[in-house]
Chain A
Amino acid sequence: MNATSAEQASAPVTEDALRSVLAGERPSSPGPVLTSLTFGWRALLKIKHVPEQLVDVTMFPIMFTLMFTYLFGGALAGSTQEYLQFLLPGILVQANVMITMNTGITLNTDIQKGVFDRFRSLPVWRPSPLVGALLGDVMRYSIGSAIVITLGLVLGFRPEGGAVGVVLSVALLLVFSFCLSWLWTMLSLILRTPNSVAGVSMMVMFPLTFVSNIFVDPKTMPGWMQAVVEVNPITHLATVVRGLMHGSVPAGEIGWVLASSVLLVAVFGPITMVLYRNKK
């Protein structure tokens, strides 16, 4: 292995060295913001050391954008160029929401390992390991969004709302994704294995993203389905992102998205924390 024999052979711990480290100071505990950010830093370090985990935020969005643009473009909007203007904001939403799933899967893997025991035994604000992990994921969502938008621009997407519209819509999308992640965080604490987390997440995710206005205008759908589309928060999110990117500010819809974000955290946050506290 990598451990050199020199390290193994030397008596590693001398009494003097141990005495001096045990004489260390006892700093005062930092606040919740700092500890959450510190856990966020851990998530970034993990991206640095295990860059493979970015596959989902890079490949997924590219695949989706290309696939749906060229698959449906001609049939649904007459031309791929036309369809791209409608689809790209929607794909951005779908890609982001899909990526949030990974939060639950990675967290489940993480919690299975002993290191979470150490985190839970620290005198820090209790949700901070989870909040930090989600903050790290926000970085992943940003990368995914940047990839979709860049690819869209290359393919011919022209946002009428300009840079400001794009930035605002991505910001809102990140807020929503962060809040939605609490659902997966909760699931990751209920289900035993990363596989089951992935399975259940898929089951929730597919209807959530497809039964919405991401791909098509709901006008052609049967009435009952339109009703579902209408209450699906993803529909409102897609409407907002589309609106902002194309230069209109749908204030009411923005309110809807922010309200559902708050609701997601208000419901799944506390449940998650109770589960986390009572984790075996």
Chain B
Amino acid sequence: MGKLAIETRGLKKSFGKTHAVAGVDLAVSAGGVYGVLGPNGAGKTTTIRILATLLRPDAGEAQVLGYDVVRDARSVRTRVSLTGQFASVDEDLTGVENLLLLARLLGYSRPRGRRRAADLLDAFGLANAADRQVKKYSGGMRRRIDIAASLVVPPELIFLDEPTTGLDPRSRNQVWEIVRGLVAEGTTVLLTTQYLDEADQLADRIAVIDHGKVIAEGSSGQLKASVGAGSLHVRLRSPEQRAEAERVLAAALDVPAEPSADPVALSARISDPERVARALAELSRSGIDVTEFALGQPSLDEVFLALTGHAAEETPQEDAT
């Protein structure tokens, strides 16, 4: 662990009776990607807005790159940039005007700002769209200009709030490539996401957050390990044998086997992979025909279910902003 890029203790923020952030402790080391994973309304956006100095916490402390987000907000602002979830550039303006506006605000002279805007548009494959209003951009282009706008002055730390929500798979991959590129150049990235595979793909460490609290923290491997070694998935030849298979597996593995939606499939969470071979042998001895089996690492979906008791995609309320 290097030095900490972000450190929070007991961070709290309420809006009326909604406790959007209810005591968040984070320790994010510099470099790499830190993922904040949670469903809508979990408090991800509120947390990121506090860290980017847009909201003052009701209680607790937060340091970003060593500076207090309340007392030393300006020092934080000069070193980080935020790519919000929605429209973080002016939709009425063209791509080049947006970047030039930010360049001017950040201290570039007009000619240098123009050059900087052109370089960024080039790097993000938007040179052809430079003089088009941002509201006419496609979703993927929008996201790229959003991120480019955050790099007008290269930040030490960049916040990406749900950078791929609503993007098609190709644009999503492009954003992932950008994130990896940023990290390769030494930028620390904190991203929020409600997509488990996104956190899995990108993040070195993940904080799972639900109802305003961090409920688990670690690498994706650690989180998976915390809910067991994985799952055994079995497919049978005939659905009539499933009930018996369920019983046999439960006895051999010592954990309940669960029928899937597919009438010939069932799965069981396993703690000890060595038992799997024995369980499969038991099935064949009982005369149950197995057509397919697979041993899977637990998905982060399962992790989320195990940690919170509800699925990650459940959306109880709008994300408090």
Residue positions of A touching B, CB distance < 8 A: 1-4, 6-8, 10-15, 17-24, 26-30, 34-35, 38-39, 41-42, 45-46, 49-50, 113-115, 117-118, 120-124, 278-280
Contact = CB atoms under 8 A, between A and B. Distances in A.
Nearest to A119: B105
B193 to A, nearest CB: 17
Contacts of B160: none
A19 B185 contact: yes
Contacts of A15: 181, 184
Contact of B74 (A10, A115, A117, A123): A123
Most buried by B among A19, A20, A113: A113
Nearest to B86: A114
A49 B128 contact: no
Contacts of A11: 125, 174, 177
Contact of A121 (B52, B125, B154, B174): B52
Contact of A8 (B94, B140, B184): B140
A117 B88 contact: yes
A35 to B, nearest CB: 6
B78 interface: yes
A140 to B, nearest CB: 15
A2 B174 contact: no
B116 interface: yes
A192 B305 CA distance: 37
Interface of B: 15, 49, 52-56, 74, 77-78, 80-82, 84-94, 97, 101-102, 104-108, 112, 116, 119-120, 122-126, 128-129, 132-133, 136-138, 140-141, 144, 149, 151-154, 170-171, 174, 177-178, 181-182, 184-185, 187, 321
A42 B93 contact: yes
A280 B15 contact: yes
27 contacts: A6-B128, A7-B128, A8-B171, A13-B144, A13-B178, A13-B181, A18-B185, A22-B185, A24-B116, A24-B152, A27-B112, A30-B104, A30-B107, A38-B105, A42-B90, A42-B93, A45-B92, A46-B92, A49-B92, A49-B94, A114-B88, A118-B84, A120-B53, A121-B54, A123-B77, A123-B78, A124-B105
Contacts of B15: 280
B107 A12 contact: no
Given A21-B151, A22-B182, A42-B93, A2 B125 contact: no
B102 to A, nearest CB: 8
A121 B82 contact: yes
Q: 9 closest Cβ contacts across the A-B interface?
A: A12-B125, A27-B107, A3-B138, A17-B123, A123-B77, A114-B86, A18-B181, A123-B78, A114-B87
A12 B52 contact: no
A191 B68 CA distance: 31
B272 to A, nearest CB: 43
B270 to A, nearest CB: 40
A29 B107 CA distance: 5
B108 A27 contact: yes
